[in-house]
Chain A
Amino acid sequence: MSRVVKYILAINLAILAVLAFVYPHLMEGPGKLIPGHKSLESNCFACHAAFRGASSEKCVACHTPADIGRLTSAGQALTKPRTSTPFHQKLISQDCVACHSDHAGVKRYELKGGFKHDLLVQETRDQCQACHKAPLDALHKQITGNCIQCHSQEKWTPATFEHDKYFALDRDHDTRCVTCHVRNDYRSYTCYGCHEHTPSNIRRKHIEEGISQFDNCVECHRSANEDDTRNGKNGRGDQEKERD
């Protein structure tokens, strides 16, 4: 390689090196920053720690965890908060980059739905209504708490609620949830919450049929149709009826 070529190469590369230090956001930055961070564009080490990447310690130096979702980093009240309830105060750890990225080129690789309920402390995780509003439909209006019985924390739907699988809510059973599920506890139920079924008349009817175990009604009855029964552990079901 001739000396002239070497000099030309060296000068060009030196110019590029200088440009890399003067305009790092253009030369090396992976895309624009979010508008709120525009003033930091040419100051990489405002957010990055050398050889360790963007550092949460540097984030919280401006964004106080106690104020996130309530106040701006300048201390003014948020007019349009992104979430109805501030939750950053209830996170198990302050790992900002686990969910947030800034440069446009990096945001492209950001996992959708970065927020995970697992990041919240257990106590907050169980209190769905602290952050979420219950739907206003007829079913949900009657329910308080215990969302996790039907819904997962990953997605609202599909929910596991399929009442017909346990008992069909036909016109005779078109009633409020608490009639059967006392204190909105959907892990248990009672059939004696209405005037139609009382322990004494149920007992009489079953003894007449020779059925001794009738504590768990839905083990045999899955609808209001008395003839549509299935075998229970010690009950007399369809097969015995057919034999009669």
Chain B
Amino acid sequence: MKTSLWREHVLPFTLLLGLLAAATLASDYLLHRLNLVWVGRYLGIPGTLLIMGSLVYSLRKRKYITSGNPQTLLKMHEFSAWLGSLMVLIHSGIHFNAILPWLATIAMGINVVSGMFGKMLLNRSRRHVQGERDHFALRGMSKAEVEQAVFWDAVMLDAMTQWRKVHIPIFIVFSVLALGHIISIFLFWGWV
């Protein structure tokens, strides 16, 4: 059981987080070596767009949009939030200039960790509702419908609901802080 927890949850979680840190440091180092530091400066824009794009899943989950496979959208949510966070981390670099963008970066970091924890929790929830698969099948549902019903049940499990109570406020804090930073950039930066 202990081995399973380590291999199936703790290790992937650590690897994914470690990869994010390693990719940030490696990219920052490369940009400095290649004298392309200015590229990192502009990575904040695609990074933010990717993070915003990852919210399509949240809209689908809350039925604001009805099309799109939720499982695929969740995968996209995880990937684009991870990649967007990587870009924003490279964008922040290791230079401490102002408090607001750093608070936003810290909030984003906590959000990423929370997201990865949610992913781990969802995998456990899925296993937990495996038994329902047969139950849905017996009711004459098609394979795709069974998959979707099991997915929604896993997502709606109590542990996931509790987790969302933490994840969403963190995301709101991150959004507001990032928005403050973006507004200040628009206000003071010379775009033309």
Contacts and interface: CB of A to CB of B under 8 A. Distances in A.
B37 A109 contact: yes
A236 B25 CA distance: 69
Interface string A181-194: 00000000000000
B176 interface: yes
A9 B172 contact: yes
A54 B190 contact: yes
B187 A51 contact: yes
B97 A29 contact: yes
A127 B131 CA distance: 88
A22 interface: no
B169 A9 contact: yes
Nearest to A5: B169
B64 interface: no
Contacts of B192: 52
B97 A50 contact: no
Is the interface on chain A under 10, 10 to 19, 20 to 34, or 35 or more residues?
A: 20 to 34
B173 A9 contact: yes
B181 A53 contact: no
Contacts of A27: 98-100
Interface in A11-52: 12-13, 16-17, 19-20, 24, 26-31, 44, 48, 50-52
B188 A16 contact: no
B97 A105 contact: yes
Contact of A108 (B95, B99, B180, B190): B95
16 contacts: A5-B169, A9-B172, A13-B177, A16-B103, A17-B180, A19-B99, A20-B184, A27-B100, A28-B98, A28-B180, A29-B97, A31-B98, A51-B186, A51-B191, A104-B97, A105-B98
Interface of A: 1-2, 5, 9, 12-13, 16-17, 19-20, 24, 26-31, 44, 48, 50-55, 97, 103-105, 108-109
